[in-house]
Amino acid sequence: MSLPKQEQEYGEQSHTTDIVVPLTGLRRDALALVGGKGANLGELTGAGPPVPPGFCITTVAYERNLKNNEKYDT
């Protein structure tokens, strides 16, 4: 099975599944994978200020959700 381009680029780097990435695995170069807010929160976790533990849902998951729900559009 071939992974979408975003998963190929960031999968090993951020220790992602195809839908969830911990904030500790993100940096600013993950913008395409998790969006700006997620990438910035990941960058903050590596910089030292207190950031609550968390995760991001990837753009791959978002796109899959949209595709799966197209059949319900009216």
Query: Distance between CA atoms of 60 and 44, rounded to whole angstroms?
Result: 23
Which pLDDT score is estimated for 64? 87
Query: Residue 51: how many CB atoms within 10 A of its CB?
Result: 15
pLDDT string in tens for the chain (74-residue length): 334 454 444 444 444 467 899 999 899 999 999 999 999 999 999 898 998 999 999 998 988 888 888 766 65
Can you give the CATH number for the domain in which 61 is found? 3.30.1490.20
**Domains in the chain, number:** 1
Domain interval for residue 46 = 5-72
Which pLDDT score is estimated for 72? 66
Do 39 and 27 meet the contact criterion of CB atoms below 8 Å apart?
yes
pTM of the predicted protein model: 0.64
Cα dist from 20 to 1, 66, 74, whole Å: 19, 16, 29
Inter-axis angle of helices 31-47 and 5-14, nearest 10: 20
